[in-house]
Amino acid sequence: MRSAASLAATAAVLFAIGLHDATPVQAVPAAVDARSASPSPAQAAPITVPIHRRAGHAKRNKESFLRAVAHMKAKYGGPTTTASGRKAKRSTTGSLSMTNYQDSEFYATISVGTPATEYSMVLDTGSSDMILAVDSCSGCSSSTPGYSASSSSTSVASSDAFSITYGSGSASGTLVEDTVSIAGYSMPNQVFAACDTMDNIVDGDISGILGMGWSTIASSGAVPLVEALAQNGTLPSEVFGFAFKSYAYDKLTSETMAGGTLTIGSTDTSAYSGDINWIPIQLPGGYWSIPLDGMTASGSDITLTTTNIIVDTGTTLIGMPAADVTAIYDQISAASAYSLDGESGYYSFPCDTNINVTMTFGGVSYAIPSDSFNAGAIDTSGSTCLGAIFALQTSGTVQAILGDAFLTGVYSAFRFDDTPAVGFAELGSGGTAVAGSSEASKSSGSTSPASGLSNLLSRSSVGVAVLASVVGAMLW
């Protein structure tokens, strides 16, 4: 196990590029010696793996809704509610099965180290850090599997501290390099945070968070795993896609259920029909943020203030500016304003109401499934339910957040390359496959991702400024 490079020398370099101005909620790491990353060779076809979905209780209700709200507010800079901030979440082409834990948190299995050890990780396109609990992690459940650096022959030690605080949760530890694999693809020397303290971050057998956003919002400064695989030309195509499985708010029978599939290196054509509608991403940089063309509610067009929205698989609900939320529910005759913990911006309706709301992206309108729009019952009788769209006060350039309430109704795909984009398609089968990356495009203009944290020092001051401003953008 090799030690970190001189902290004093690194600190001088970091000061010179402006990292000393970073937000105090996290410690910006010093650089670690880099080793050349030789990823696994590109496979002939993409791989699809199962994902699972998990929540804190068997049915969606007001408490799970409050946890989801607290998570989104903490993640994107809005004022948090007094409710508990505990998480209540969710190949040849690499396809992974997902698990659904109480309809609120999607997770899948990755492997870390040599010999490889498997861990269940939350899949989050709204953040970019990989955070993994270590053995005997403080604040973790006794059932939470932890990473052991001493048990892996490919682990590279570091004294670089990592610490982040958001909402009522926090995590701290050190940055480590090791081989990390997902859906059959391996990345040597992947940098991640090995955390010996986690407060309200992981629960049960979930060991951490796999950020799937862009490196510019990684508080560790590391290139995220899937982006690194794309940069190195490992993938048949620089794409990953989700087919989420959802359940009606009152039909969940256990805390953990099948959640769908994740495909890496292409898309799963058996999970959607027709072509994927690609929408180029836009500001704010670092997020999977796309233009929102329009919305309807009960067949009426909504006048929106929102122009862009972040696509976030790590978030359950849909958060939008208060004016837009009011305009939407004004068209739903059965909906009434509702206050939670003294805060407004929420709406309720009879649980048996069939809600008709659509969102338009790239000129195509998509209906939010009525079952997904129903965020759970307020009362024990199950007669009054909450709507999944709520008023969110954000900070900076973030306007709105598109979570699983929408994503469970479509096939969603995320594309790296020269024209990064988010794509949607109708759920079904027999879809049109995405084009694979050419060998030329893989070899020209493609730079190796961070094989160690020394790559931090090659980043522009603009990237550093973005990193500092979004350090709070994490999971609930």
Q: Which residues are catalytic?
A: 124, 312
Mention every residue, 6+ apart, whose C-beta is less than 8 A from residue 169. 74, 85, 86, 87, 198, 199, 200, 201, 474, 475, 476
Pair of tokens at residue 313 = 């698989």
Which contacts (CB < 8 Å, 24+ apart) does range 81-84 have? 81/340, 81/341, 81/343, 82/341, 83/340, 83/341, 84/168
Count the residues in the chain: 476
Q: Cβ distance 74 to 166 under 8 Å? A: yes
* Interstrand relation of 357-361 and 343-350 (parallel, antiparallel or unpaired): unpaired
Strands (E), 265-341: 272-280, 289-291, 294-297, 300-301, 308-311, 318-320, 336-340
Separation CA 382–CA 379 (nearest Å): 6
**Tokens in use for 157?**
């030690």
What is the rounded distance in angstroms from the CA atom of residue 31 to the CA atom of residue 8? Answer: 11
- Residue 170's alpha-carbon distances to 79, 173, 198, 472, in angstroms, are 17, 11, 6, 10
Q: Helices then strands (H, E): number in the chain?
A: 8, 27
Dig out the tokens for 217 from the structure.
């919002």
Please give the angle made by the CA atoms of 364, 365 and 369, to the nearest 5 degrees.
Answer: 140
E strand or H helix at 70:
helix 62-76
Q: How far apart are CA 284 and CA 16, in angstroms?
A: 25
CA 352 to chain centre: 31
Residues in Cβ contact with 163 at an 8 Å cutoff, skipping those fewer than 6 apart: 25, 26, 27, 170, 171, 172, 173
**Distance (Å, rounded) from C-alpha 18 to C-alpha 218?**
16
Q: What is the dihedral of CA 16, 172, 394, 375, to 10 degrees?
A: 160
For residue 380, the SS3 value is coil
* DSSP type of residue 17: T
